[in-house]
Amino acid sequence: MKHIAIIGAGPAGLMAAEAALAGGAQVSIYDAMPSVARKFLMAGKSGLNISHSEDASQFRSRYRAPDDRLASMIAAFGPREVEGWMAELGIESFRGSSGRVFPVMMKASPLLRAWLARLQGGGAKFHVRHRWQGWDNGGSLVFAAPSGEVKFDAEAVILALGGASWSRLGSDGAWAKLLVARGIEFEPFQPSNCGFEISWSGLLLDGFEGAPLKGVRLSAGDQSAHGDVIITKRGIESGAIYPLSPNLLGQIGAERAATLEVDLLPDVDMDTLTKRLAAANPKDSSSNRLRKAARLDRTKIALVNEIARGALPAGAGDIARFLKSLPIRVDGPVPMDEAISTAGGVSWNALDDQLMLKALPGVYCAGEMVAWDAPTGGYLLTACLAMGRAAGRAAARR
């Protein structure tokens, strides 16, 4: 019976183990942390958004990858398959009003417990506190373990080591140097689905740090998103900004800064807003005009004053345009370790159609360690599961 080593016990690694076991292989799973799937459990603390129920072609369009290989894997194991797999584990799912898919119990822990029970029942062996160190000269896998150096010989290896954010949960990107030393093509990590740094004045922060900007539309280049964002000490944070990460990071890379445009009143058209402002009492202060005529709350008024530096445009039409396209200079992303996910990783050029490294036959890569990207909303987890499944099946067949 073929023995497969899986390094990394997050969603991609665990699904690779499940697929390899189903293919008749023996499976040993290694992880550097004291327990498995720590980032997965953290993702479930506020509700495990594991997939999305939108149309399949729309779903696949959310991913940023250089070719169709990832799309093919998601076509084989996409949102419907994820829900069916959960049901097999005894975990009922539901679809929220936005189409996002969650377990009914919301948290990740019941799903993980059922999943681990299935894997252990199938014969999978878990080895925690085993940090991968690469290979020795004879091709054996080498791990640093509490008992000292441990070596293991496997007929196939699946690497599912994650990206480079949330290092305290195990995703530190330290594996990259081991593969680069073997000549594997690698694309540098960069933060994705992250907050951004903005140089707010002390005046704004004194009164509004932690305050939400409610119901705004954010735009960067050809990307836009609607929702609430939080003013933080360093800048802005929230799920509404995450989809704009690629465009903002692209601008920052090219120009060392980016411009985020904020429509403070996305549900009010320009003509209506202009008429309201034109009808305002000319004796009102600018703040009262914004409050009464534009109907902005205190946080939005403070942001307008921050950007205008006390000098609003003169005419009603110009003020309306300003409020519907407030330009905010973005200095950079928050530190990569704080990002929800990371882009970059093992280049697709280094992988064959089965996710095997061309330069290292019998070694497969899956999950966030490969260079693809997607927004939040269930897309990240679904892709990790689909890639893990594909790698596990391929390794068992080889």
Q: For 249-277, what is each residue's pLDDT tens digit?
A: 999 999 999 999 999 999 999 999 999 99
Distances (CA, A) of 395 to 2, 8, 28, 182: 9, 16, 13, 20
- How far apart are the C-alpha atoms of 324 and 339, rounded to whole Å? 28
Q: Is the pLDDT of residue 86 over 80?
A: yes
Q: What is the widest separation between alpha-carbon atoms in the chain? A: 85
What pLDDT, on a 0 to 100 scale, did the predictor assign at position 1?
84
Q: Is the pLDDT of residue 52 over 80?
A: yes
Mean pLDDT for 277-299 is 92
pTM of the model: 0.94
384 near 12, Cβ under 8 Å?
yes
In terms of pLDDT, which residue wins out, 300 or 283? 300
What does residue 292 show for φ and ψ, rounded to 5 degrees? -80, -50
359 near 184, Cβ under 8 Å?
yes
Instruction: Tell me the pLDDT band of 155, cut-offs 50, 70 and 90.
Output: very high
- What percent of the chain is modeled with pLDDT above 90? 95
What pLDDT, on a 0 to 100 scale, did the predictor assign at position 5?
99
- How far apart are the C-alpha atoms of 320 and 356, rounded to whole Å? 55
Mean pLDDT for 74-83 is 98
Neighbouring C-beta atoms of residue 253, cutoff 10 Å: 11
What pLDDT, on a 0 to 100 scale, did the predictor assign at position 128?
99
- Break the chain into its structural domains and give their ranges: 3-192+339-397, 196-333
Q: Is the pLDDT of residue 209 over 80?
A: yes
What pLDDT, on a 0 to 100 scale, did the predictor assign at position 285?
87
What pLDDT, on a 0 to 100 scale, did the predictor assign at position 284?
86
The separation between CA 84 and the C-alpha centre of its own chain, rounded to angstroms, equals 23
221 near 259, Cβ under 8 Å?
no
What pLDDT, on a 0 to 100 scale, did the predictor assign at position 105?
94
Mean pLDDT for 317-346 is 97
**Superfamily of the domain at 3-192+339-397:** FAD/NAD(P)-binding domain (3.50.50.60)
Q: Is the pLDDT of residue 282 over 90?
A: no
Read off the pLDDT of residues 109-152 as tens digits, 9 standing for 90 and up: 999 999 999 999 999 999 999 999 999 999 999 999 999 999 99
Average pLDDT over the chain reads 97
Read off the pLDDT of residues 309-328 as tens digits, 9 standing for 90 and up: 978 898 999 999 999 999 99
What pLDDT, on a 0 to 100 scale, did the predictor assign at position 20?
99
Nearest residue to 36 via CA among 199, 220, 185, 162: 162
* Cα dihedral across residues 289, 294, 299, 305: positive or negative: negative
Neighbouring C-beta atoms of residue 164, cutoff 10 Å: 26
Mean pLDDT for 292-299 is 97
What pLDDT, on a 0 to 100 scale, did the predictor assign at position 370?
99
- β-strands 156-159, 363-365: how paired? parallel
44 near 381, Cβ under 8 Å?
no
Mean pLDDT for 376-396 is 98
